[in-house]
Amino acid sequence: MLLPQGASTIASEVDALFYIVYYVSIVFSIMIFGGVTYLAIEYRRRGRISLTTSLDSNHKLEVAWTVIPTIIVLILFAMGFRTYMKMNIVPAGAMEVKVTGQMWFWSFDHPSGANSVGELVVPVNKPVKLLISSRDVIHSFYIPEFRIKMDAVPNRYTIIWFEAIDTGSYNIFCTEYCGTGHSTMLGKCRVVTQKQYDEWVELNDIPEDMPLEELGEKLYKSRACNTCHSIDGSASTGPTFKGIFGHDVALEDGGSAFVDENYIRESILNPQAKIVAGFQPVMPTFEGILKDRHIDAIVAYLKTLAKSPEEDTH
């Protein structure tokens, strides 16, 4: 009622814990605020000075208000600890997916070698271990429907696991403020049947013999270049790719550069080397993510995005 649909094996336990804490808080809030209000009215100052009779301690009352909350807190601890351990101990035989957070997208390396950006695809009813890290700042990987959340930290791995109990598409959020694009650092977790999963894996392996231009177009989308670079001439976080190849580009330091194969290669591997005028140096490096052949493919693809003749001022 208060929480999103629970779609993992752990969700019902987390929810039970949440609701117990929630209702216990409501009951105690009513008791405390009710008590305060009652006492304030009952014993308000009534004009003349009256002295209270000397007060004795009430042992029964004191024992009750010590023992009852202690029992409640111990129950919460036992339940919380059990669920916490369950969340953190990955079951044997879990399928392992490498999750990488970076400004501002998530990428996923599946065990088959298939890689995807912004979309995690997993089979239903199968434990999935997520090995999480970050390439730049702290991010936090969060799937509300699965009740899992884990920080993605540069220079170390963090681990969380889940087992989805229902097919469907679930939101992935970043819950650590990580810069301008934080609110758009979204993704989907698509839970599918084992058969659909096998088909997906097959489709997403990048075939070695794909023509470079096609591969480049595929990478432009699957490597999330499209989150910052358009191909229709409009600037977004980064400059458009349309018609840049073979032209001069003005740089932030007042100089200019000629966009050729080497300039593109450098822009991808060492984006901070030359900053295009009017843009922030926010592009992450793709060193180690894109192989040489992938860079060749992107170069080939950018060559196909020439300006139409009437737009060309050269």
Contact positions vs ligand HEC (CB under 6 A): 103, 223-225, 227-229, 237-239, 244, 249, 259, 264, 267-268, 271, 274-276, 279-283, 286, 298
239 binds, among Cu ion, ligand HEC, none (CB under 5 to 8 A by kind): ligand HEC
Nearer to Cu ion (CB atom), residue 53 or residue 155: 155
Closest distance to ligand HEC from the beta carbon of 69 (Å): 50
What sign results for the dihedral spanned by CA atoms 106, 112, 113, 116? negative
Angstrom distance (rounded) from CA 104 to CA 214: 25
Nearer to ligand HEC (CB atom), residue 158 or residue 237: 237
Give the C-alpha distances (Å, rounded to integers) separating 256 from 233, 249, 253, 259, 284: 20, 6, 8, 10, 21
264 binds, among Cu ion, ligand HEC, none (CB under 5 to 8 A by kind): ligand HEC
Place of tokens 């919460």: 76
Nearer to ligand HEC (CB atom), residue 121 or residue 299: 299
120 binds, among ligand HEC, Cu ion, none (CB under 5 to 8 A by kind): none
Structure tokens at 71: 């029992």
Nearer to ligand HEC (CB atom), residue 9 or residue 134: 134
Give the C-alpha distances (Å, rounded to integers) separating 199 from 96, 114, 117, 137, 139: 18, 11, 18, 34, 31
Q: List contacts with Cu ion (CB under 5 A).
A: 139, 174, 178, 185
103 binds, among Cu ion, ligand HEC, none (CB under 5 to 8 A by kind): ligand HEC
174 binds, among Cu ion, ligand HEC, none (CB under 5 to 8 A by kind): Cu ion
Burial of 167: CB neighbours in 10 Å, binned 0-12, 13-18, 19+? middle
